[in-house]
Amino acid sequence: MNSIGKQARSKIGFADLYLERYGSGSAGGLPEPDPDLFLIVTIPAFKEPDLAGSLLSLLACDPPGVKWEILININYPENSGSEVVDISHQSLADAQQLSKGLARSDVRILCLWNPDMPARHAGVGLARKIVMDQAVRRFNPIGRPDGVILSFDADSRCEKGYLKTIAEFYLRNPGARTANIYFEHPLCGGFDPRIYHSIAQYELYLRYMRLAIEETGHPHSIHTVGSSFSLRSKTYIRVNGMGRDKAGEDFYFLHKCIQLKNFWEINETTVWPSVRESDRVSFGTGASIHRQLQNEATLEVYNLDSFHPLKELFGRVSQYWQPTTDNRQLEVEWETISIGLAEFMRSQNAAKRIREMHRDSASYKTFRAKFFAWFNGFMVLQYLNVMHKKYYVKKPVVHEASRLALILGISPAESAEELLVHLRDFEKGQGNRRII
């Protein structure tokens, strides 16, 4: 029995409808779940030569005090070359060897084997979906909708307190639906020094973006890193599961989860994602490093000035709840903020949408939730991309992040590495916190 505490069980089969309609992957082939299973670490593994290192990092964690599993989806698309096939077989052998050698009863290592996936669909989104769907299948027959699913990567590492911190967080906070986990990319080690400089710029960009969006007043400012988030099984099925996107699956998925609220950050432990370059997906950490190394260019980011009109817009949401404002009044008001913002809002038919939201809302609280569900993180990125085609010029990440640091009371710096440390300290210093 879990030593930290019992979790109330709901009706067995809580996920039947989701699995019938949206579930991916095979339903068989694994042993029955432990009746007290509480936490599952899910890992998609494609072309991962050091999966064993990731598993050893998890097994070296302080025991979480609950029954837990590591669930791996080893996969590759059809027509893959011999190198990919060989790496996959070696990953399977390594995982099976570690599983057989476990001299403990609190954890099991389980593998899904998905070779020759249709090239049309194969990718990190589907791979992550298959393994997370399987986690739901594990919780379903034991009536555990509050069971915790962790999203991890096959080339990541974690702090010793990773599992215990997360398990205790969810046991202490029964209302928590989703929680991001604090992350840091290594800034030194055995790779080419240029890789570490590139990853410092990329992670600085991630933190700059999150903090810049938060500074606008948008309530859904979050990191979207596939190797460092967690959620309840019931949350997963409420948003109809992970998408099949070949890249960016974590961004779209987490922005669906935040609509359900009770979204947290766990800043009291750390995940260390890989710093290696990669051409496996079109964007993300590895792809960004690959492009920077190919071009040997400084990473440029959205101009901080482009966020200012959003801050004014979001600061006036309470005014849009007033029924006296007609469409033309709204458009004139947006023009006083920024011509570019006004053009963007017209392109989104925003005045009509706002009046529809007002009509369909019984309170300001409901209206505000609808507004930011509409003007979500994806629309923020749309706005920024449109603005930088005509009104703003991208600038080096250190320059813009230093400008933002001054606004937030964070010490600026001349190097990406030093400034990144300052932003890390600022975010981690906030402790575990509820975003919305």
148, part of any domain: yes
- Are 340 and 265 in the same domain? no
- Are 365 and 251 in the same domain? no
Helices 364-374 and 350-359: angle between axes, nearest 10 degrees: 150
Quick check: 108 and 30 in contact, CB under 8 A? Answer: no
User: What is the total count of domains within the chain?
Assistant: 2
Nearest to 149 by CA among 74, 237, 222: 237
428, part of any domain: no
- Are 138 and 243 in the same domain? yes
- Are 43 and 25 in the same domain? yes
Q: What is the mean pLDDT of residues 332-351?
A: 96
The CATH number of whichever domain residue 170 belongs to comes to 3.90.550.10
- Are 309 and 293 in the same domain? no
Residue 276 or residue 103, greater confidence: 103
The size of the chain, in residues, is 436
- Are 233 and 316 in the same domain? no
What's the pLDDT tens digit per position in 114-130? 998 888 788 889 999 99
Tell me which DSSP letter residue 433 carries: E
- Are 279 and 344 in the same domain? no
pLDDT for position 7:
52
Q: What is the mean pLDDT of residues 278-299?
A: 55
- Are 186 and 97 in the same domain? yes
pLDDT for position 248:
80
What are the start-end ranges of the H helices in 43-174? 51-59, 82-100, 124-139, 162-172
121, part of any domain: yes
346, part of any domain: yes
Quick check: 15 and 136 in contact, CB under 8 A? Answer: yes
Of 264, 298, 332, the residue that ends a domain is: 298
Query: How does residue 190 score in pLDDT terms, banded at 50, 70 and 90?
Result: confident
- Are 340 and 383 in the same domain? yes
- Are 224 and 86 in the same domain? yes
Alpha-carbon torsion, ordered 377, 381, 386, 390, to 10 deg? 120
63, part of any domain: yes
Backbone angles phi, psi at 60, to 5 degrees: -85, -5
410, part of any domain: no
159, part of any domain: yes
Quick check: 158 and 269 in contact, CB under 8 A? Answer: yes
Query: How does residue 4 score in pLDDT terms, banded at 50, 70 and 90?
Result: very low
Domain containing residue 119: 16-196+218-298
Of 390, 410, 425, the residue that ends a domain is: 390
Q: Percent of the chain scored above 70 by pLDDT?
A: 92
Of 266, 298, 330, the residue that ends a domain is: 298
Nearest to 67 by CA among 143, 162, 2, 163: 2
What's the pLDDT tens digit per position in 192-204? 889 999 999 999 9
- Are 47 and 176 in the same domain? yes
Identify residue 67 by its one-letter amino acid code.
K
Query: How does residue 29 score in pLDDT terms, banded at 50, 70 and 90?
Result: confident
Q: What is the mean pLDDT of residues 296-311?
A: 92
What's the pLDDT tens digit per position in 80-114? 999 999 999 999 999 999 999 999 999 999 999 99
- Are 179 and 230 in the same domain? yes
206, part of any domain: no
